[in-house]
Amino acid sequence: MKLFVVERYGANDAGIKDDSVQKQRLDSLLKKAQKRKETAENAIISEQQQEQEESVKKKKKRKSQVSESVEAEKPTEQEEQQKDDEDGLEQRKKATAEVSQDPEGFTVIGRDQFKRVKEVKGVAPKWLLHPTVISVNMKNLDANVDDVLDLAPVLKQTLKTENVQKMFPVQRDIIPWILKEFKFSLTGYWPRDLCVSAPTGSGKTLAFVLPLVQILLGRPLLEVKALVVLPVQDLAKQVFSVFQTYSKGTNVKVALAVGQGQIENEQRQLVRKDACGNFHSLAHIVVTTPGRLVHHLRVTEGLDFSKLRFLVVDEADRVMDSAQSDWLFHLEKHIAKSGSKRVLGQVPPLTIHTLETQAPPPQKLLFSATLSQDPEKLAKLALFQPKLFTSVVKAKNPTVDAENDEEDVGHFSMPAEIRERYVLCEEDGAKPLLLHCLLTKRAEKSQQKKGHGCKSLCFADSRVAAHRLCLLLQKLSESSETKLRVAEITAELRLMERNCILNRFTNGELDVIVSSDALARGIDIPSVDCVVSYDVPQQAKLHVHRVGRTGRAGRKGEAITVLSPQQLPSFQHMLRGVAKGNELKELKSPQDEMEALEETYKKALAEVRKCIKEEAKHKLVVKKKRTGVFKRNKTARRRSAKKLLKAKRK
Ligand SMILES: Nc1ncnc2c1ncn2[C@@H]1O[C@H](COP(=O)(O)OP(=O)(O)OP(=O)(O)O)[C@@H](O)[C@H]1O
């Protein structure tokens, strides 16, 4: 044990050989500590006394303003009050002394000095508080293409061939605004940035495609003037095809860079190197995803964004939330190398000198159905005098308490054409059967009424859940009279496979697509009749996007969410901030049909279990084979290397 004894003061140290000297030192240290404690306590107590006195003074003042008759009784009350206050002070003194003294005798420094910090409430900027409200009414469209827009005849012709007769409210408001800002910028002023928050399927894509093509019409020089950023490949391809449609018959060149094929192929569409070694842009508009953009900025020689005039960010909230949200930083760095335009960063104070010496920054155009109106998030984008167009008005949700109706809680809005309902499922295990019954019922009704089946999209939480649900629905419909053709789309499938399934769905070869949230955002699938949220979405945003796959472009749609009774209150609470055209109603659960199919369901469940086991086995075999081949290859390589060495030695 001696090993662990630390002798801080050795016997040879001067002045501390005696025990008496050590005692003296200890006493003086303890005295000092005691003094410090007392002064700290006194300070706290005097502070509290002051506060107490002030409060008593205030009370006195208030009471002196009351009438005389009441005043007659006051002195006794005041005295009592003062007594009470003093007693309270005494008690608190004791309590603080007790609290600040730990049972082991240590004093916690500053324990009584902690005070609750006052919450500072942020103030939304003016442009967020005073937006221009876009109508959500898609029924009585008054804006004829010819009357409203100052568009080139080629574009008007394409609109006619695409069967666009009238402009949707977003397009009616946004297109002239962008064109006007552009004209304004030609006079030397910087264009204002734009934020658009409009419901799903309201035609936001055309609202930026048309003005960009119009502005870039007839430009002899090939320079990248517009960069359009979307969160994922599928959406970028979709927007690219709209650009292609509307740039037909014009000299506007559009390129796609989403990482679908080899990077060299994309580079060939973006830049050309001439005989003298100079680089030339090959597109006016580049449609891309954040990840691929950063890749090109790093590796594509001669890519020049210094002449950029427009930066469009569709599904802006998702793009900004994504892991690659540093793409703006990389873009700015890239531009800074070749020019002085600012994409990010502090906007300098606008003086005549800045206007004269600095080129305007690219105008940022942000679009989304669930655009964040959080000033902090938007501040990251360094928007220049932004203008907000929104269709979000005060949410009115009859299912929520009346007091909540008064709040300005609207963050997102949904198309008024969507009829939203929920169905309660008591047992979690019976959910697939309930879904099967709902879908077959809908298909039969639609067949009777319209003469064709009902196209439905079902959203599950994950890829695995979507796969299992798809198998179950397939098995159940095999044994039922109404045969539903079911397929699945998850992020695991390649783009080609996904497109193939979507084409079959659009052509009426499939009735149901089960999907993970890979399909939830932005994808424009014509005429989806019903969207079913098989698993409850965790965020209102996700719900808005899922449901938004139906009821597009003014068509009618239906959205059903499958809930357990326990999930209902939180679901209703989540939808508090979503402005809807229709109220949320309950749909009767098809109990009779479910009971009739109980045996078939059990069989289907057993078959699916078998199927999943076989799939897992198959995957394992494939994996083993791969690793086995790899090992064999490795050993073969080693053997051949050894043989070679031997041969060399010989
Ligand atoms: N003026 C119009 N007349 C008729 N159809 C239109 C018009 N404008 C757009 N559409 C069609 O409406 C559908 C939805 O448009 P779009 O994809 O632009 O919606 P969105 O607002 O971007 O939706 P999301 O927020 O879900 O991405 C598309 O099929 C498009 O062709």
**Is pLDDT of 397 > 70?**
no
What pLDDT shows up at residue 474?
93
Please name which of 575, 566, 572, 573 lies closest in space to residue 542, comparing C-alpha atoms: 575
Q: Kindly report, residue by residue over 530-565, the tens digit of the pLDDT.
A: 999 999 998 888 999 999 999 999 888 999 999 999
Query: 201 in ligand 1 pocket by Cβ < 6 Å?
Result: yes
Cα dihedral 292/293/295/297 (nearest 10): 160
**Is pLDDT of 138 > 90?**
no
Query: 415 in ligand 1 pocket by Cβ < 6 Å?
Result: no
Give burial (CB, 10 Å; 0-12/13-18/19+) of 584.
Answer: buried
Q: Report the interhelical angle of 153-161 vs 233-247 (nearest 10°).
A: 120
Residues, the chain, total?
650
CA of 203 to the centre of ligand 1 (A): 3
Q: What would the two tokens of residue 636 be?
A: 């073969």
**Is pLDDT of 116 > 70?**
no
Q: Report the interhelical angle of 431-450 vs 598-649 (nearest 10°).
A: 110
Q: 395: pLDDT confidence band, cut at 50, 70 and 90?
A: very low
What percent of the chain shows pLDDT beyond 90? 32
| Partners of 368 in the β-ladder | 197
Q: Which of 58-72, 198-212, 234-248, 263-277 has the lowest mean pLDDT?
A: 58-72
Nearest atom within ligand 1 for CA of residue 198? 21
What is the CB-side half-sphere exposure of residue 45 using CA atoms within 13 A?
18
What pLDDT shows up at residue 4?
53
What pLDDT shows up at residue 324?
58
CA 476, 482, 484: angle at the middle one, nearest 5? 60
Measured CA to CA, the distance from residue 195 to residue 313 in angstroms comes to: 10
Counting ligand 1 atoms within 8 A of each CB, the residue from 206, 228, 241, 367 with the most, and so the one to mutate, is 206
Cα dihedral 295/329/242/240 (nearest 10): 0
What pLDDT shows up at residue 151?
84
Per-residue burial over 78-112, b = 16 or more CB atoms within 10 Å of its CB, e = otherwise: eeebeeebeeebeeeeeebeeebeeeeeeeeeeeb
Measured CA to CA, the distance from residue 340 to residue 360 in angstroms comes to: 9
Tokens 């719900």 belong to: 543
Question: What is the residue with the minimal CA distance to atom 12 of ligand 1?
Answer: 553
Nearest atom within ligand 1 for CA of residue 522? 27
Query: 522 in ligand 1 pocket by Cβ < 6 Å?
Result: yes
- Which range has the top average pLDDT, 31-35, 119-123, 208-212, 351-355? 208-212
Q: 385: pLDDT confidence band, cut at 50, 70 and 90?
A: confident
The residue among 157 and 113 whose pLDDT is bigger is 157
What pLDDT shows up at residue 439?
93
The residue among 343 and 547 whose pLDDT is bigger is 547
Q: 289: pLDDT confidence band, cut at 50, 70 and 90?
A: very high
Query: 205 in ligand 1 pocket by Cβ < 6 Å?
Result: yes
Measured CA to CA, the distance from residue 339 to residue 575 in angstroms comes to: 46
Query: 222 in ligand 1 pocket by Cβ < 6 Å?
Result: no
Counting ligand 1 atoms within 8 A of each CB, the residue from 139, 148, 204, 239 with the most, and so the one to mutate, is 204
Tokens 């090959």 belong to: 282
What percent of the chain shows pLDDT beyond 70? 79
Please name which of 559, 565, 567 lies closest in space to residue 542, comparing C-alpha atoms: 559
**Is pLDDT of 75 > 60?**
no
Per-residue pLDDT, averaged over 441-469, amounts to: 89
> Strand (E) positions, 274-424?
279-281, 285-288, 310-314, 363-368, 387-390, 412-413, 418-424
Counting ligand 1 atoms within 8 A of each CB, the residue from 524, 528, 545 with the most, and so the one to mutate, is 524
Q: Report the interhelical angle of 233-247 vs 495-506 (nearest 10°).
A: 60
> What residues have CB less than 8 Å from 356, skipping those under 6 apart?
188
What pLDDT shows up at residue 634?
66
Query: 553 in ligand 1 pocket by Cβ < 6 Å?
Result: yes
- Going 160 to 164 to 165 to 169, the CA torsion angle's sign is negative
Instruction: Give the CA radius of gyration of the chain.
Output: 36
Rounded to the nearest integer, the mean pLDDT of the chain is: 81
Counting ligand 1 atoms within 8 A of each CB, the residue from 138, 141, 162, 205 with the most, and so the one to mutate, is 205
**Is pLDDT of 82 > 80?**
no
CA of 289 to the centre of ligand 1 (A): 20
DSSP-derived 3-state class of residue 637: helix
Query: 555 in ligand 1 pocket by Cβ < 6 Å?
Result: no
Q: Which of 228-237, 445-454, 590-599 has the lowest mean pLDDT?
A: 445-454
**Contact between 597 and 437 (Cβ < 8 Å):** yes
Nearest atom within ligand 1 for CA of residue 526? 29
**Is pLDDT of 204 > 90?**
yes
Per-residue pLDDT, averaged over 64-93, amounts to: 51
Nearest atom within ligand 1 for CA of residue 242? 31
Q: 97: pLDDT confidence band, cut at 50, 70 and 90?
A: low
Give burial (CB, 10 Å; 0-12/13-18/19+) of 127.
Answer: middle
Q: Which of 35-44, 283-292, 351-360, 491-500 has the lowest mean pLDDT?
A: 351-360
Nearest atom within ligand 1 for CA of residue 168? 1
Question: What is the residue with the minimal CA distance to atom 23 of ligand 1?
Answer: 201
Query: 231 in ligand 1 pocket by Cβ < 6 Å?
Result: no
**Is pLDDT of 66 > 50?**
no
Q: Which of 142-146, 393-397, 472-476 has the lowest mean pLDDT?
A: 393-397
What pLDDT shows up at residue 490?
85
Question: What is the residue with the minimal CA distance to atom 31 of ligand 1?
Answer: 203
Q: Which of 74-88, 412-426, 614-628 has the lowest mean pLDDT?
A: 74-88
Query: 506 in ligand 1 pocket by Cβ < 6 Å?
Result: no
Q: Kindly report, residue by residue over 556-609, the tens digit of the pLDDT.
A: 899 999 999 999 999 988 888 776 666 888 999 888 889 889 899 999 999 999
Query: Complex ipTM above 0.95?
Result: yes
Q: 409: pLDDT confidence band, cut at 50, 70 and 90?
A: very low
What pLDDT shows up at residue 353?
73
Q: Are strands 557-563 and 418-424 parallel, antiparallel or unpaired?
A: parallel
Query: What's the pTM value of the predicted model, to 2 decimals?
Result: 0.74
CA of 202 to the centre of ligand 1 (A): 5
Q: 405: pLDDT confidence band, cut at 50, 70 and 90?
A: very low
Phi/psi at 316 (nearest 5 deg)? Answer: -55, -40
**Contact between 440 and 486 (Cβ < 8 Å):** no
**Is pLDDT of 406 > 70?**
no
The residue among 468 and 379 whose pLDDT is bigger is 468
Q: What amino acid is encoded at 352 in this protein?
A: I
